[in-house]
Chains A and B, each alone.
Chain A
Amino acid sequence: MSDAPIIQIKNVSKLYGGTVKAVDGVDLEVARGEFFALLGPSGCGKTTLLRMLAGFEVPTGGQVIIGGQDMSNVAPNKRPVNMVFQSYAVFPHMSVEQNVGYGLKMERRPAKEIKERVAEALDLVKLGHLAKRMPDEMSGGQRQRVALARALVKRPKVLLLDEPLSALDAKLREAMQLELVRLQKTVGITFVIVTHDQSEALSMANRIAVMAQGKVQQVAPPAELYEMPANRFVADFIGKINMIEGDAVAAGDGEVRVTAQPIGEVTLKGTATGKVALAVRPEKIFVDEKEPTDPALIKVKGKVGEVAYFGSYSNVFFDIGLGQPLQADISNLSRDIEEYTFRAGEDYWIYWRKSDTLVLGD
């Protein structure tokens, strides 16, 4: 049974006030030992879903199974999961040691075992030297480690993390991302993290479920999510993307023929038909003064508009005669400033590979 999913969410819904669907018929499976992310904009139902795993919300419909056991009638304090809260929820009147030991005390473990396991957990999060500290004498990052140690010391089957990095400053957040990945590998516990920050999800998780309006839009590993988004929402939500509206008809053989201004007619791999968007990521776009000739490329003429310089690359907006500009991330590949300077009004050929183009339905 060890390769059965540790979490099974079967057609779970949550209605608030009988009408508002916070979570709408979600089916998900999380494998043992996975680092799984629930990603979505605020109000998409990801936190509600996490709270249903922890037992703080009761599903209106459907079933939550953890470790093969139906959780319908299991109270939060009896579930084999532990949670790291957004505010860390470190008990202010208890020392670090007491905080971490609290869960074991509730299990009525002998004092000796508690002491050993607390020390072990604190070492794991590199807080061994601060065991006697009170929470108000600690930084936000340290308090977060206390919260992590306190949850991990219980050796849960699943660790739930609710926006764990949102209260940290940018630098600390990056460090904590790496740390969480390291920690997850060390303890081998399944992590389920809720976040609205796509870079956080992409950099940490093995698999990501993108949610919007209570529904799961796509479940995939990070690279697949970025390069093969299932629909417009996912493509738009993850990273930057250019979309050119067009009409598609099936051309057989897994291909569609798309007509779009100002590109004209082009045959691409894809299945969506009718109103579609041709989508291409800005970093997959090239520019040149000369017209490219390769038939495997899609090309348009454009005028330079706004330019934002970021050091390693420039984000250049080209006017291609559509309502919204086409943006390209041009890497600054040499120290030749002149070559990589774009001036407003200059004409360029903008092109990208057909194979880098997505045909997205709604």
Chain B
Amino acid sequence: MSIFRRNPDPIGPLDYARRFWLRAFVAVTLFFLYAPIVGLMAFSFNDSRRNVVWRGFTTDYYVKFWNNDSLMLAFANSLTIAFMTTVVSTILGALTAYVLWRYRFPGKAVYEGGMALPIVIPEICMGVAMMVFFARIGWPTGLPWPINLGAITIAHIAFAFPFAAIVIRARLESFNRELSECARDLGASEYRVFRDVVVPHMKPGLIAGALLAFTLSLDDFVITFFTAGPDTVTFPVKIYSMVRFSVTPEVNAASTILILLTLIVTAVALWVQNRNNMIGKSAH
């Protein structure tokens, strides 16, 4: 087997990947990174009420999860919030990025810094601030689903769109401005230039930004915890409340579903972005 065959060449000064200590370091890092996740997934199939000893394989807890109405509602809440957050954050992020990239205006640096503030403000502060804010303005509660998710969604958009804006802005940096001048030269209005030339270039950034907003929203706990009411529990908040009693395989099953969902969305987004990069390669 070629991977086990000793490479006869001496280890070169830049052949870091062939040094034992570096390999060991990587192996240990990967182990601590993935072992808990793999363990969590494996124990979701454990036929035991307690989560310590392996008692045999079962899919009971997935069935239980499926039939747990409050858990399913939390799941639906999370997806709905994540979806709305994604759409609004991406649009808002794209517009913000475009304004910052395209125009010069007084106070631009302040605006840019202010926009990025939700990224650096501790989440706990954002959460408390949001809670106090919604209480102070008297945000109505007890509205029918899904309008009752409004407060959480607004809070999520507020902290997710700067991430989208930064990703899209970075993508715009690689835009060849001659492309937009050329479109203009060929008779396009400012709007057509944006639609026909700038947006196609932004697309990988839009996808990456949307993905970021989606995952940020889906697994956010802190801010959600402070803005959620009794009937607007999201998936992470629900799992937290379940863990407070005991860590049953049902929690594992729910977590596994969440991980898989995130993985699928990421994979799809990466695939789309890769395909776009192949097309966009010749832009510069």
Residues of chain A having any CB pair with chain B under 8 Å? 54, 56, 75-78, 81-83, 85-87, 89-93, 102-103, 106-107, 134-136, 143, 150-151, 154
- Of B28-36, B110-118, B161-169, B274-282, the stretch lying at the interface with chain A is B274-282
How far, in whole Å, are A76 and B183 apart by their CA atoms in the complex? 10
Q: A86-B178, A87-B176, A91-B197 are in contact. Are A102 and B183 (CB under 8 A)?
A: yes
Residues of A near B278 (CB, < 8 A) are: 136
Residues of chain B having any CB pair with chain A under 8 Å? 176, 178-179, 181-189, 192, 196-197, 200-201, 278-284
B188 to chain A, nearest CB (A): 5
How far, in whole Å, are A75 and B201 apart by their CA atoms in the complex? 24
* A150 contacts B176, C-beta separation under 8 Å: no
Residues of A near B182 (CB, < 8 A) are: 83, 85, 89, 91
How far, in whole Å, are A87 and B178 apart by their CA atoms in the complex? 7
Give 18 A-B pairs besides A92-B279, A151-B186 with Cβ atoms closer than 8 angstroms.
A82-B186, A83-B185, A85-B181, A87-B284, A89-B182, A91-B182, A91-B200, A92-B200, A92-B201, A92-B280, A92-B283, A93-B201, A102-B183, A103-B186, A103-B187, A106-B188, A106-B192, A151-B185
Q: A85-B178, A102-B196, A106-B192 are in contact. Are A90 and B282 (CB under 8 A)?
A: yes
* B187 contacts A106, C-beta separation under 8 Å: yes
- Write the chain A residue with the least CB distance to B203: A93
Residues of A near B179 (CB, < 8 A) are: 89, 91
Residues of A near B185 (CB, < 8 A) are: 54, 76-77, 81-83, 151
Q: List 11 A-B contacts (CB under 8 A).
A: A75-B184, A87-B176, A91-B196, A92-B283, A93-B280, A102-B188, A102-B196, A135-B282, A136-B281, A143-B282, A151-B185
How far, in whole Å, are A54 and B176 apart by their CA atoms in the complex? 18
Residue of B187, B197, B281, B284 with most chain A CB atoms under a 10 A cut-off: B187
Residue of B182, B189, B278, B280 with most chain A CB atoms under a 10 A cut-off: B182
B197 to chain A, nearest CB (A): 6
How far, in whole Å, are A154 and B279 apart by their CA atoms in the complex? 26
Q: A92-B279, A92-B280, A136-B281 are in contact. Are A77 and B189 (CB under 8 A)?
A: yes
Residues of A near B192 (CB, < 8 A) are: 106
B103 to chain A, nearest CB (A): 16
Q: Which 7 A-B pairs have the closest CB atoms?
A: A136-B282, A106-B187, A103-B186, A89-B182, A89-B178, A92-B283, A93-B200
* A150 contacts B186, C-beta separation under 8 Å: yes
How far, in whole Å, are A8 and B93 apart by their CA atoms in the complex? 45
* B282 contacts A106, C-beta separation under 8 Å: no
* A106 contacts B186, C-beta separation under 8 Å: yes
- Write the chain B residue with the least CB distance to A76: B184
Residues of A near B281 (CB, < 8 A) are: 92, 136
Residues of A near B280 (CB, < 8 A) are: 92-93
Residue of A56, A81, A89, A151 with most chain B CB atoms under a 10 A cut-off: A89
How far, in whole Å, are A82 and B184 apart by their CA atoms in the complex? 10
* A92 contacts B186, C-beta separation under 8 Å: no
How far, in whole Å, are A160 and B280 apart by their CA atoms in the complex? 26
Q: A85-B178, A87-B178, A89-B181 are in contact. Are A102 and B186 (CB under 8 A)?
A: yes
- Write the chain A residue with the least CB distance to B192: A106
* A76 contacts B176, C-beta separation under 8 Å: no
Residues of A near B196 (CB, < 8 A) are: 91, 102
* B181 contacts A93, C-beta separation under 8 Å: no
Residues of B near A85 (CB, < 8 A) are: 178, 181-182
Residue of A81, A85, A150, A151 with most chain B CB atoms under a 10 A cut-off: A85
How far, in whole Å, are A85 and B181 apart by their CA atoms in the complex? 9
How far, in whole Å, are A102 and B196 apart by their CA atoms in the complex? 10
Residues of B near A154 (CB, < 8 A) are: 186-187
- Write the chain A residue with the least CB distance to B189: A77
Residues of B near A54 (CB, < 8 A) are: 181, 185
